[in-house]
Amino acid sequence: MPRTLAFLRHGQSQWNLENRFTGWVDVNLTEKGEAEAKKSGQLLKEAGVAFDGCFTSVQTRAIRTLNFALEEMGESWLPVIKDWRLNERHYGGLTGLNKQETRDKHGDEQVHIWRRSYDTPPPVLEDSSEFPSLNDRRYRGIDVPKTESLKLCLDRVEPYWNEAIAPAVRQGQSFIIAAHGNSLRALVKLLFDVSDDEITQVEIPTGNPLLIELDDNLKPTSARYLDEERATELPSGF
């Protein structure tokens, strides 16, 4: 039975543009981000996959990217499930800081470790921070993280995959998963069985759908970015 996933990282956000660590801060898309989202929809339409539904985070930039894409596809009717477990990795005490200024202060190597190492989380977000997500109504009843490494992000993405997404895919359904650079890296690590070392090299471009076909055991049999000009390297073997 055909089963296809499209991993869609949101289009450029205001803080992608400003080069700031974002994580759980609910920044919006830029105009360029909206255009990327619309182009994703055109590419998905051309790909001709009959999707059964969509999953996204509870963050505006991913939700709006999905909505723009669905509108372009003429498929705004598709059911959408939103869940915080697809949110971006929580950037802890780095949240809001400029990435270049942080490199100038702490050095390239340390910042690379914080950004891309598998299991070294950034410093925690202090309660006094101007960016608390604890009081946000959408996170009621959730133990909001104070920081997350990619591993900690995978620790909440994986159960969501197992409980909510994988059972439907196993039945032969196809989905768009509109999420974030690091929650999608976590899913790529899981599905493609990428090593802790290799995942540090995986970069998912904004607004460029990654189309993945899966076999009966939910192992990827093919993967390609629909916007070839903006494609990045896929995990080895693909």
Ligand X SMILES: O=C(O)[C@@H](CO)OP(=O)(O)O
Helix (H, G, I), strand (E, B) or coil at 115: helix
Q: Tell me how far, at minimum, the Cβ of 65 lies from ligand X, in Å.
A: 13
Token pair for 78: 């598709």
Q: Does 3 sit near ligand X (CB under 6 A)?
A: no
Q: Which is nearer to ligand X, 3 or 115 (CB)?
A: 115
198 annotated as a binding-site residue: no
Is residue 36 within the footprint of ligand X (CB under 6 A)? no
Nearest to 122 by CA among 153, 87, 161, 77: 153
Encoding tokens for residue 49?
Answer: 């996959």
Window 154-183: residues binding ligand X (CB under 6 A):
181-182
Considering only 18-26, 57-65, 141-149, 169-177, which stretch makes contact with ligand X by CB under 6 A? 18-26
The distance of closest approach from Cβ of residue 180 to ligand X in the complex, given in angstroms and rounded to an integer, is 6
Contact 223, 211 (CB under 8 A): yes
Residues 59-118 that bind ligand X (CB under 6 A): 88, 91, 115
Question: Any binding-site annotation on 45?
Answer: no
d(CA 226, CA 94): 32
Q: Does 122 bind ligand X (CB under 6 A)?
A: no
CB of 172 to ligand X, least distance (A): 32
Spatial CB neighbours of 102, under 8 Å, sequence gap ≥ 6? 21, 94, 111
| Residue from 16, 102, 133, 183 in contact with ligand X (CB under 6 A) | 16
In the numeric block, which tokens belong to residue 145?
């993280």
Q: Which of 116, 92, 75, 97 is nearest to 24 (CA)?
A: 92
- Candidates 11, 23, 121, 207: give the one binding ligand X (CB under 6 A): 23
Task: Answer for the pair 119, 45: CB distance below 8 angstroms, yes or no.
Answer: no
> Is 138 labelled as part of a ligand binding site?
no
Which residues are designated catalytic?
A: 10, 88
CA 205/CA 164 separation, integer angstroms: 25
Radius of gyration of the chain (CA): 17
Decide: is 41 part of the binding site for ligand X (CB under 6 A). no
Contact residues for ligand X (CB under 6 A)? Answer: 16, 21-23, 88, 91, 115, 181-182
Q: Which residues are annotated as a binding site for substrate?
A: 9-16, 22-23, 61, 88-91, 99, 115-116, 181-182
